[in-house]
Structure 1
Amino acid sequence: MPLLGFVEQLGLGALITIQVAVLSYLLALLVGTLFALATVRRKPVMNVFWQVYASIFTGVPSLLVAFLFYYAGSGMIASLFSLVGMRVTIEVNPFAAAVVALGLVYGAYIADIVRSAIHNVPAGQFEAANVLLIPRPAAWFFVILPQVLRFALPALTNMWIVVLKDTALISLIGLKEIMTYARLASGVTKEPFIYYILAAAFFLLMTGLTYLVSQRVEGWTERGSRRATAKGVARAL
């Protein structure tokens, strides 16, 4: 196969890598945020459930979790449906196994990040929302969560980069992402340096774009606090 053909395959693998990383991160963000909101008040039952979940998915390597979902996922789904008297057969492909595995593993880490950010929101913000009789869902969505995003953004950005890099491990379950094609091209052409450098350049490019986007988002989240700080300085003068 000509060099251009392998480069084209690397491009297809890069697209799969981005898809897996984005979907995994969104799932992790959803799972982590839900757990953070559910455990922020330390409810005993939810706390026990959280401890079990966090102990499992932070104590087991993400690659091993992906193996479990890929090879035993169909059986687990069938067992769950059998509890309600339904017979369902669903084949778990490498893409789905990778997304679910990475999403659940890093959801545990994101839960800690979001919960810490919630605790960093000044208590006066919650009290002000109650005094103004703002409905609880609206207070969380428009008042609390924007501040949580500002506090959690640096850690969430780093977590996205970790998820992106961890997609390289998922090639071991048969997912044809960029590392799979880089390894294939290296074996055929006997020139591993070229293709692994191209794969490395892809991850470096994605990391650079991540930092650029995170700086824009950070600037957007800091707008309100900067105005408040500026007014406070002006009054002090």
Structure 2
Amino acid sequence: MGLLAYGAEGYGDELLAGAWVTVQLAVISYALAAVLGTLMAILTLKPRGVRWTIGRVYASVATGVPSLLVIFLLYYGGTEILHALLVPFGVDERPAISPLWAAVAALAFVYTPYLADLLRGAIQNVPKGQLEAAEALSVPRRQIWLGVLLPQALRIAYPGFVNIWVVLLKDTALVSLAGLTDLIAAAKVASGSTREPFLFYGVVVVFFVLFAAATIRLANRHARRLDRGVRPSEA
């Protein structure tokens, strides 16, 4: 039975479909976590006040609870959670949540505080003289953030962002336990039917290794481009 054969006698199409689901899950989850993490970093930049306290509580929960448990909670209880949130607004509905979006929400929930902490530290490492110079020139606050602080902070935090991407990519394997037909779920079905688990799980290993290696290589190339013209700080 050929691995890449298509049709009733092969599992190549199922594996490719599962790989596509895995890629979608990783990219969408990471993009959402990056956006939310950026907002969280900005809102909790000052270590005091209500926003800081709420952010710390959220970070403690998200980083202290196993990712698999969060996936189960949102997959099996996501409909009830949405219903409870909508009831105060007069909406008495129970919207169905697909396994993909439940997994996206779970991974974004878990990794948002990691990215927020990383970016917050990077913002705090941007030389304060640049902020003071922009304020002295009466540059609007929005332009200071978009044109001065965030570009430099993202360059500083870039290696850490890449590391978190690799960790999130590996965590996508957990969603197969919640019913999402990703690459691992497809490999499980194929290995159970053919009794060749080493072959199909080996394909999964190769996929994750090659995908992670390719993204790291692209990230390193982009990092070198970001570092052009940046002089190392003197001791």
Q: Which runs of 5+ in 2 are unaligned?
A: none
Higher relative contact order, structure no. (Cα contacts within 8 Å, ≥ 6 residues apart): 1
Aligned counterparts of 1:150 and 1:84: Cα–Cα separation in 2: 41
Q: Does the Cα contact within 8 Å between 1:146 and 1:221 map onto a contact in 2?
A: no
Decide which of 175, 186, 204 is 2:180's aligned counterpart: 175
- Map of 1:34-45 to 2, 5 A cutoff? 34-45=39-50
Alpha carbon RMSD of aligned pairs, Å? 1.6
Which of 193, 197, 206 is matched with 2:202 structurally? 197
Q: Which runs of 4+ in 1 moved over 2 A?
A: none
Determine the structure 1 residue equivalent to 2:27.
Answer: 22
CA contact (8 A) 1:27 1:104 kept: no
Aligned residue-pair number: 229
Matches of 1:73 and 1:51, distance apart in 2: 23
Between 37-46 and 107-116, the greater mean CA deviation after superposition? 37-46
User: For the residues of structure 1 that align with 2:80 and 2:14, how far apart are their CA atoms?
Assistant: 33
TM-score, structure 1 length as denominator? 0.92
Letter in 2 for 1:58: T
Q: 1 CA distance for matches of 2:2 and 2:210? A: 25
Greater helix fraction, Structure 1 or Structure 2: 1
Amino acid at match of 2:157: A
* Among 213, 219, 224, the residue aligned to 1:214: 219
Other-structure match for 2:109? 104
Correspondence 1:66-81 to 2 at 5 A: 66-81=71-86
Residues 173, 184 of structure 2: 8 Å contact kept: yes
Question: 1:13–1:178: 8 Å Cα contact kept in structure 2?
Answer: yes
Q: Shift of the alpha carbon at 1:2?
A: 5.1
Q: Structure 2: which amino acid aligns with 1:70? A: Y
**Residues 27 and 153 of structure 1: CA distance in aligned 2, closer, same or farther (over 3 Å):** same
1:142 alignment partner AA? G
Q: CA deviation at 1:216?
A: 2.2
For 2:212, give the aligned amino acid: T
**Unmatched tracts of structure 1, length 5 or more:** none
